[in-house]
Amino acid sequence: MSRSVVVVDAVRTPFGKAGSLYAGTRADDLMVRAVRGLLERNPQINPADIDDVSIAAATQTGDQGMNLGRSVALLAGIPNTVPGYSIDRWCAGALTAVTTIAGSIAMGAYDLAIAGGVEHMGNHPIGEGLDPNPRYLAERIVEQDALAMGATAERLHDRFPTLTKERADRYAFNSQMKTAKAYAEGKIQRDLIPTAARSAELGWGIATVDEPPRPATTLEGLAGLKTPFRPAGRVTAGNSSGLNDGATAALLASQERAQQLDLPIKARLVTFAFAGVEPEIMGYGPVPATIKALSKAALKISDIGLFEINEAFAVQVLAFLEHFSIADDAANVNPFGGAIAVGHPLASSGVRLILNLGRSFEEHPEVRYGITTMCIGLGMGGTAIWENPHYKAGK
C-alpha cells in the first residue's frame, strides 16, 4: 500500500547566533514554540488526531534530551494520547524526521503527523560530549579531518581545484544579498513564528527576524577573513554557515486526509534518498544522494526547476552545482538565500529547506519538480524530490 504524502505547512522560529539571541532560552522551548505556531496557523487540525510527533536534534542531552518528540508534544499541549520520538542524523535530522514520518503515511499507518528539528548550539557546542571510537583513526576508517566539518570543506577544495576561494566568497556574498532581498520583500518573515527571548541585560523580548544575516557584506570583506581550519586555506566564517540556535516544524499528511480537512498543500513528496561518501569530503554527499533520488523517480536533473541546497559551506554547494552543470549564480538555486546568511542550527535545517521550496512553488507554477538536499557529517548526503501542487503545464 502506498499513498501520496504532502506537506501541509511548515514554520520555524527566527534563527539566532549561538548563545546570543536565545542564550536564556531552552532548546525544547524553542521547539515547543515552533510546534504551537504550526498548530495555531492550522486551526482546522484537531491535535488529538495527530498520529505522531518526530523531532530531531544532533546533540540529545540536557534540554535536547528526554525524547524530544514526546517531551515537546506534551509541553506544546498536544493530548497525551499522541506519541512522539526523537531522531538523530546530525545535520539531516529534520529531513530524516520528515522522510520517516512520510514512510509511515505512505504505508497507511499514519494520516497526519508533525516532523521537525531543533539545535541550540549555544547550549550544545558542536562536538560537545562526543567520544569518537579511537578505531576511527587507528584503523584509518576515517582521516583526522573527517571529525572536523571545516576541515572536510577544505578537503573538498583540495579535491576540486576549480572550486576556488573566490568562487566560494562570491557564492556567499550572493547568499547574503538574496536573503536581504527576500527580507525586503517580506518573503522570509511570513513563516517565522514570533518567539520569546530573554537577555540578562535587556530582559524579555520577542524575536521576529533572524539574527545572523549580514546584508552589509562585501566581497572585499569576505576576501580578508581568516581561514581557521588551515593556514592560507579557503574556508572562512564568511563562506560557511554559522553556529546557530533555532527550531523548525512541518505538518505532513496523506493527500486524502489533507483534502478531507480542506488543508492547503505546499508540496508532494515524490521520493527521497540518502547516500554515503568518504567522511573526509562529507560535503560531497548531496551529489550521490541526488543521483540516487533522481534514479528512483525516473527523472533527470533537467526536470528539476527549483533547488534548496543547505549551505553548510559554500564549497559544498559549488561542488553540487558543478557536478550537475548548474551556474554558481543560478536564480533557481536558493532564491531566498540560504544558511550562509540565515544560519544552520544543525538538525533543524531540513525543514527550512522544505519551507522555502514550498513558497517558491507558489511563485512558479511553471515548475513541476524541486529538490531539497543537504550534506551530513561523517560522509553522507540526503535528497528529497518534491512535486509542485500548483504546477500548470505550459505556464
Question: Tens digit of pLDDT for each residue in 150-164?
Answer: 999 999 999 999 999
In a domain, 13, yes or no: no
In a domain, 218, yes or no: no
Residue percentage of the chain with pLDDT more than 70: 99
Kindly report, residue by residue over 193-247, the tens digit of the pLDDT: 999 998 777 789 999 999 999 999 999 999 999 999 999 999 999 999 999 999 9
Average pLDDT rounded to a whole number, residues 280-307: 98
* Residue 127, pLDDT score: 85
* Residue 391, pLDDT score: 98
Annotated active-site residue 390? The verdict is no
Confidence of residue 128 (pLDDT cuts 50, 70, 90): confident
Confidence of residue 98 (pLDDT cuts 50, 70, 90): very high
> Active-site residue among 91, 120, 157, 364?
91
In a domain, 378, yes or no: yes
* Residue 1, pLDDT score: 57
Annotated active-site residue 124? The verdict is no
The pTM assigned to this predicted structure is: 0.98
Residue 300 has pLDDT above 70, yes or no: yes
Query: Which residues constitute the domain of residue 296?
Result: 135-187+269-386
Report helix, strand or coil for 370.
strand
Annotated active-site residue 344? The verdict is yes
In a domain, 228, yes or no: no
Residue type, 30: L
In a domain, 165, yes or no: yes
Domain count, the chain: 1
Cα gap 91→347, rounded to integer Å: 5
> Active-site residue among 120, 157, 364, 375?
375
Burial 231-269 (b: 16+ CB within 10 A, else e): eebbbbbbbbbbbbbbbbbbbbbbbebbeebebebbbbb
Kindly report, residue by residue over 37-46, the tens digit of the pLDDT: 999 999 999 9
> Active-site residue among 120, 124, 157, 344?
344
315: CATH = 3.40.47.10
